[in-house]
Structure 1
């Protein structure tokens, strides 16, 4: 074979070297960006024209494509197109690159897959925050596998998930996309998702985003600057990324839009090269967040023009610009101006081609349009299981589980709205931004789920109010659209209608129980109440939902509140007057079935909060692993959380007893802290408890949090049964970033706290680490282990 790069028997390195030696500068640059196209089976493709992609005439588009292309942006996730038709259109595009360009380099396809493959007909999974509430890494790995299977069927080579941002400010719209507020929980669950999505061969790339600190923006506002030191960035926000790369072998990373202390992340060589590749050994590709490169000159003002922005970002560590070629097309100009070298371009193209060869794209460029099987019974079952395990009981005066003979009023704007079950990166919700709609018939709402579980005759429905009277697309204004955004007055789109509340009151009065379903409608860029670019200035329920709740509670009918939302909300003081309060997050297409199963007791509640619910907006940013002085002096009245991280009730009771630490002192060089305790189900029914181990560094060279999660497990027990749980925590996990900017472990005393939540601490122990202060190596021990030993029944 004369062209070595086409010979699959050759090494990837040799194939890459041979191919690069044949490429022109234009062909190299083609591999460094994407195009966002509307694909057609007949090959009459057109560029998607909007604020993200610009526009191009057919001749210009053909010329650009003739040089080859790194990636194609969301070929099936952009519009409501039949899956088989979409795959055939993608194959037609691929055929052009393979057969009609000079070198025949196939193109990679990427899609969104945060809560399922974002394409028509794919399984609609719960939101990431719901994933976090399961506290179940094995289940989340299963989620990743099912999503990955659907991605592969549709010709996708890279999925733009998971989100590893550590939730810090509940006002931030993208809170719903996170796994929660603890870096260890986020890291463990994200690693599991990555392993499931990518598979052992990493033939589908997961994309870790948004690297890093995106969730700690000013005021919880989208894209806003981040202000923090290296120690906080490394210990809290970089840790999940480090775990998913070192333990999960993640194939791609996406930098965030914001700047940290004035340095935009898309231009940070320190983060994208020195840390990511140099210190962590990352060997995948770095892809831009959409238009993130152009923001360097359009918003951040650190680059003079598109060419300079491209040179700056690629030199920092970027490999592929997404979603189009806003700045990539000007890279040749930057090279001619001496702003980026040919050697740097070759280095980047080498990484891109390496991934294309490694995933087998040259040998298998086409997807099989006849082998598509979306929404398999297994995938739908997984979606239901996640939704069930995420339902979290916050309060319960004994009304739950529901009696099947009760007459129930189901009330509220989220009770029978299919879109209220979905997060911002689910397919039907995401299409709203483009004035498009998708089929939602398979989504089970809370009303449908309760009618199925209790019988339709036992259930009365009253909407009560709207959250939004209309779902309009598009934000009123983006930065740059006006000269001075500080003087801009923007009207709220929230509904103010009160005319449906009397009907809800009547329904409640005529029933034994009222279930009030309130919360959010997710949607990007202010077409919803939560989601990307849909940030909040309050934790009061959006619109007039509080007035609805107040009116229903005032009837005296026992009231259960179900929050289907992307962030926590306060209930205006009604928390003390409710029969029960349930956090259901966005439950996906099986959310209503799952909720009804938990409320009726068919499924035992096992969800635990992945983030704290602050007392009110005055305490945000609030998180359980704060420093001692975070509450102020004297302690601020608004500080704290009624429902803390890790909280969740069951329908039974559990006793935690006989806690011991294996040794009072442990060598910090190689040791493990082993803590054992017995859990007994002391109630009358089976249940699930989630034991948690928290640690506090008593004396350290820098301020440490009041507690940090270091281990957790899930224990299922029948009534009267007990089990022995042992947590093994490597001493490396008691590290923090020291004076030299590296992770260290110091000798000294550590408090060990065993509990059912971050506040419900059942036992306190202590251990001393002995030895000299140690700087951790690259491959440090990052994960604790849990052993659950079933004990014989007590007579």
Structure 2
């Protein structure tokens, strides 16, 4: 036997990086005991309990980690090693910052490998909801703000930067909200949605996957600055009853397929490495126990070969219907769950196999998917890989975050043209409101503690950027919550003595150390100023009483007032629409959102944001999403049924005129495209987001009033006209048929092009006869 032959005998196939992933998985799986297999499917620990920081600043491993790795001779995955927030209790004094993170990940991984008989590394799983949720991670605007940008290319660059940060810190797998569709803004997690529309969400989900993972179709593995993503939540969680977190979703199959599955389908097609089963149930079947959803639809019909993770403690919740946690774990595994999160049920899978509740072949299939991801990441060759953080497309995190924030700011009305601020008319400016001088409420839920001085408030940005000689006065006016109005007189005096008042109002998802949490991290007892976020659902959509009083008092001074809303959901503030000279929403724009807002107020840049959700007049109207079924909806006797502002709406500092859409036969998939002339009729350069909607006329299923099917941004100089062309292919024309398959159905379809859904209803359409 020669040297090469001896090496081949001594080196297991699974250690050969040149071998196919499937072969490596099969070889390793054949060497594993049942106990080791079960260990690969468990993600039991909170990562912050795996270490402690000594007084000298160094990290040491805890007894809890030793016990966890001894239990299964290794560790399948570890959640939140880098996580820092009020729930974990990790801050800059106790956790790992950007410099210490790689060393901590190295320390833990080395321990895992030493405890694993076969040398199987652990997956380090981290939250990346809007940037890496770790100390010194770049905080991006929340998803609802990303939806308002209508800019997948910009978001793709930001997602790429977030992936690079995760990998540079030693993390591997990113958990990212993308699949929830905002159908009830009372839900506290509305900020995690890209919006109310499935097409917009699908395009942004594709951008997310491309940005974080790269082009998965061209590679088996992941480069050192890319991270596989788990898209959450699958499916229908954005439509729970009453907007209550984790409640049931009363969705028929058609509603599920038309509204709540397209983003997931787009993410799977883009190559997403994983999806997370949602907390809610659909038609009586919990998502984490929904075999038809996970096994039949996701895996068989869509061909998904990746990882399915349960949401935190969702498996153990199944004991309510199975009777105990052993059978709960068996039900989840048999239904398609591969990896648990903090559950006890999956720790008993060996017992479930022995009792005949689970076939070992089903267990092996789940283990294979976990191992395949580890091989694709190159963890067996480079378990300690900590590459230097590369720039994302030449842009650093701050510039990307600010660019997203700037693109998300949406101008809803601008009476008498008070914006942009005219220095010839404004020499004294009052900056007022509970959000005006703070960055804490700009950040959104799932945000790590920020170092002092990080970010820019609206007040600080206006002081720095405003025109020379402009006097800026400040008064907070009131607290964000409650009815304390003691600061209103000072705010009124500041407004009355000014030429313009900027009133910054809204909500907050800022968690504080005194917030009480459920075992899965959702806020339970709401304290301080938290009015949005996971576990913070509202029955109404009004701002705090004192904020409404402040709005009334400031606008009553007669000073032109610009209202800026910083929020994680569309609040109902019809008074601002009635009384403010201008109204903008910035959502949660991230740490540097104040800079983006100030730039737009002062005209350094023009607003380009468009609403990703409809804005209601009150919670009593709900639902108000634009794409309801095309029936003869009646109005209310006591209130208008129309939203205050429609989906897609947003103004800029010029005006546009749209021509009538023209259908052109051009030899594409269905032989047609749509062209429309767009003209800048104002005196400033500007950007219009051209939106194409379809309205089926003759079709085999009951249609929706409108459905967004394409959009393009176009920049035009004053007086410039440009022809915008859209290909009308499957993505634009397909509908969910009687058999629930998405296909192009025969019939007649109106093509409407406008600047918003409301505008599309009034636009002159083109009619296209479609052959299925």
Normalized against structure 2, the TM-score is what? Answer: 0.89
In structure 2, the partner of 1:105 is 120
Q: How does 1:389-404 map to 2 (within 5 A)?
A: 389-397=407-415, 398-404=417-423
In structure 2, the partner of 1:786 is none
RMSD: 2.2
Q: d(CA) in 2 for partners of 1:633 and 1:575?
A: 21
Kindly indicate whether the alpha-carbon contact (under 8 Å) linking 1:605 and 1:650 is maintained by their aligned counterparts in 2: yes
Q: Shift of the alpha carbon at 1:292? A: 1.1
Q: Provide closer, same or farther for how the CA distance between residues 366 and 670 of structure 1 changes in structure 2, counting only shifts above 3 A.
A: same
In structure 2, the partner of 1:413 is 434
The one-character-per-residue Cα deviations of 1:672-723 (angstroms, maximum 9, x if unpaired) are 5411111121211111111111111112232211110011100111112221
Q: Provide closer, same or farther for how the CA distance between residues 744 and 607 of structure 1 changes in structure 2, counting only shifts above 3 A.
A: same
Among residues 149, 160, 163, which one is paired with 1:145 in the alignment? 160
In structure 2, the partner of 1:465 is 478
Q: How does 1:54-73 map to 2 (within 5 A)?
A: 60-64=67-71, 67-73=73-79
Q: How does 1:706-745 map to 2 (within 5 A)?
A: 706-731=705-730, 733-745=732-744
SS of residue matched to 2:587: coil
In structure 1, the partner of 2:204 is 189
Q: Provide closer, same or farther for how the CA distance between residues 633 and 411 of structure 1 changes in structure 2, counting only shifts above 3 A.
A: closer
Q: Provide closer, same or farther for how the CA distance between residues 332 and 43 of structure 1 changes in structure 2, counting only shifts above 3 A.
A: farther
Q: d(CA) in 1 for partners of 2:701 and 2:364?
A: 43
Q: d(CA) in 2 for partners of 1:268 and 1:654?
A: 48
Q: How does 1:235-634 map to 2 (within 5 A)?
A: 235-246=258-269, 248-297=270-319, 301-322=320-341, 324-368=342-386, 378-397=396-415, 398-404=417-423, 405-428=426-449, 438-454=450-466, 458-467=471-480, 494-523=481-510, 525=523, 526-527=526-527, 528-629=530-631, 631-632=633-634
Q: Shift of the alpha carbon at 1:325? A: 4.4
Kindly indicate whether the alpha-carbon contact (under 8 Å) linking 2:74 and 2:113 is maintained by their aligned counterparts in 1: no
Q: d(CA) in 2 for partners of 1:651 and 1:419?
A: 29
SS of residue matched to 2:268: helix
Kindly indicate whether the alpha-carbon contact (under 8 Å) linking 1:618 and 1:638 is maintained by their aligned counterparts in 2: no
Q: d(CA) in 2 for partners of 1:145 and 1:37?
A: 24
Flag structure 2 segments of 5+ consecutive residues without an equivalent.
Answer: 1-7, 85-89, 511-521
Kindly indicate whether the alpha-carbon contact (under 8 Å) linking 1:40 and 1:89 is maintained by their aligned counterparts in 2: no
Q: Number of residue pairs matched?
A: 719
SS of residue matched to 1:321: coil
Q: Provide closer, same or farther for how the CA distance between residues 684 and 670 of structure 1 changes in structure 2, counting only shifts above 3 A.
A: closer
Q: d(CA) in 2 for partners of 1:731 and 1:318?
A: 32
Q: d(CA) in 1 for partners of 2:397 and 2:66?
A: 43
Q: Provide closer, same or farther for how the CA distance between residues 502 and 707 of structure 1 changes in structure 2, counting only shifts above 3 A.
A: same
The one-character-per-residue Cα deviations of 1:79-107 (angstroms, maximum 9, x if unpaired) are 22222223212211111222342111001
Kindly indicate whether the alpha-carbon contact (under 8 Å) linking 1:43 and 1:93 is maintained by their aligned counterparts in 2: no
Kindly indicate whether the alpha-carbon contact (under 8 Å) linking 1:8 and 1:363 is maintained by their aligned counterparts in 2: yes
In structure 1, the partner of 2:87 is none
Kindly indicate whether the alpha-carbon contact (under 8 Å) linking 2:504 and 2:566 is maintained by their aligned counterparts in 1: yes
Q: d(CA) in 2 for partners of 1:40 and 1:132?
A: 38
Answer with 542-551 or 262-271: which moved more.
542-551
Q: Shift of the alpha carbon at 1:43? A: 7.0
Kindly indicate whether the alpha-carbon contact (under 8 Å) linking 1:129 and 1:180 is maintained by their aligned counterparts in 2: yes
Q: Provide closer, same or farther for how the CA distance between residues 635 and 358 of structure 1 changes in structure 2, counting only shifts above 3 A.
A: farther
Q: Shift of the alpha carbon at 1:570? A: 2.1
Kindly indicate whether the alpha-carbon contact (under 8 Å) linking 1:150 and 1:374 is maintained by their aligned counterparts in 2: no
Q: How does 1:4-83 map to 2 (within 5 A)?
A: 4-34=13-43, 35-38=45-48, 39-40=51-52, 44-46=60-62, 60-64=67-71, 67-78=73-84, 79-80=90-91, 81=95, 82-83=97-98
Are positions 1:210 and 2:233 aligned together? yes
The one-character-per-residue Cα deviations of 1:429-478 (angstroms, maximum 9, x if unpaired) are xxxxxxxxx424211111111111116962111111112xxxxxxxxxxx
Q: Shift of the alpha carbon at 1:224? A: 0.6
Among residues 223, 226, 230, which one is paired with 2:246 in the alignment? 223
Q: d(CA) in 2 for partners of 1:135 and 1:59?
A: 47
The one-character-per-residue Cα deviations of 1:553-603 (angstroms, maximum 9, x if unpaired) are 111111111000011122253422210000111111210111111111111
Q: d(CA) in 1 for partners of 2:543 and 2:700?
A: 42
Among residues 86, 94, 111, which one is paired with 1:96 in the alignment? 111
